Amino acid sequence: MELTHKTLDFEVKQVGAPADRTLEFIGSTADVDRYGDVIEVEGWDLKNYQKNPVFLWAHDYKQPPVGKAVKVGKTDKGLLFQIKFAGPDEYAFADTVYKLYLGGYLRATSVGFQDLGREPITDKEGKQTGWRYKKQELYELSAVPVPANPNALVMAVQKGVVSPREMETLTGLPFEQALIEEVVEKRVIPFKDCSTDPEDAPWDGPTEMKAAEVQDLKVMCAWFDPENPDVKGSYKLPHHRTKGYKLVWRGVSTAMAALLGVRGGVNIPDANRQGVYNHLAKHYAQFEKEPPALKDYGELNLRLIESGLIPVSEETAQAIEAFYQGMERFRQAVVEALADFFKIGNEPEARAGAVLNAKNKAALRQAQALIQQVLDSAETQPSEEGMGQNVYSLALNPSPGPDGGRPAGEPDFIELLASTQKLHQLVKGGK
């Protein structure tokens, strides 16, 4: 079951005595959010959540909860949660999160829910601008590291609310790098949790970009040039459809490959690459796939990533490249050897007065056909759609599945070897 996650801004206030460590969150969920969506308050089904009312950190089920809901309900303003946080002696990280919410440095939370009924929201021209969720079942509530303003977390450290070390634990970044990220992330377009197209859906990035308006590109892409925000050419790495903003897997893998350097890469500042990578990695998770590491890759691995496949080790990549280079040397050797002995044309003729009888001419024509078969097998580059499968089939021998192809040995490689052997026999005069 795939849950939908929505980040919502909440009004936060302390309830009860300070020693209770309880904060009240009221979210205006009936308002249009930053993505153009509306969640109807009356549509919330809270029964399952009330059975296990934990307050998580960033939807991470592996970490202990930072708190628990002691009260959950629906109000005129939206959902209401009263969250009791773990104390510093119980869970130090929970205490950090509590202090940031209490001081107003964090305000957003994220709901994880199962969509049970929705309808599109359209503008006056009939273009879809978002979704209206009419019925949904709440499964979990999470604190998320979305500050109330761009410099809120940095300010929290500067004012002594939390220490630099607590900040590093919270963000996973050295404090100095977090200061930089507050600036450079302004160029990275925020992740949007959209519905997905089928994994095998086709993708044509230039066509989608051409059909889009600038407002669409603010959702469809992963990076933009803030100096020219009203120019379509300022937006890069599209991976959502223009219509309905559906997420396309081949768009995500193509954007990731471009970020990593395929076909010359994408021209964005180095300081923004981690942020763009984080954005795309979240989309990989939507398709239940592991993103490639953010590092340098050879051309073969870049093409595999672009095709939506898993990169291979450098040793395996070198072996595959050596295989194709070996086949190219074989092709050249066969062509040069036969060209030196025969004049190969539509009507083969003997060289240096040699006489070819009908049987030899037929054998030569058969040799020509086999040469072409070998050349086609060794020389033809896989298409963008099938490159990964062909490479995996010929050299990697993976298990069958969507990330691989036929196991090595059936039938491409075997046919190639058989054709080569027949050619060798014919040239030598064997059967």
Alpha-carbon distance of 130 to 195, in angstroms, equals: 11
DSSP string, 308-347: T-PPPPHHHHHHHHHHHHHHHHHHHHHHHHHHHH-B-SSS
Alpha-carbon distance of 140 to 50, in angstroms, equals: 9
Task: Please give the single-letter amino acid code of residue 75.
Answer: T
Task: Please give the single-letter amino acid code of residue 424.
Answer: H
DSSP string, 44-98: EE-HHHHHS-EEEETT-TTSPPSEEEEEEEE-SSSEEEEEEEPPTTT-HHHHHHH
CB 70 within 8 A of CB 22: yes
Ordered per-residue pLDDT tens for the chain, 431 residues: 567 777 777 788 899 899 999 999 886 566 676 667 888 889 999 998 999 999 999 888 888 999 999 999 998 878 899 999 999 999 999 999 999 899 888 877 888 889 999 999 888 888 888 888 999 999 999 888 765 444 566 666 666 777 777 766 766 655 544 444 444 445 888 888 889 999 999 999 999 999 999 889 989 999 998 777 888 989 999 999 999 899 999 999 999 999 999 988 998 888 788 889 999 999 999 999 999 999 989 888 898 999 998 888 888 878 877 877 777 777 777 766 666 655 544 444 444 444 555 665 666 666 666 666 655 654 444 444 444 344 333 333 333 333 333 333 334 444 554 555 555 555 555 44
Task: Please give the single-letter amino acid code of residue 342.
Answer: F
Helix axes 314-341, 358-379, angle to 10 degrees: 160
Please work out, in degrees rounded to the nearest 5, the angle formed at the alpha carbon of residue 330 by the alpha carbons of 388 and 408: 35
C-alpha radius of gyration, the chain, whole number: 30
Alpha-carbon distance of 193 to 204, in angstroms, equals: 21
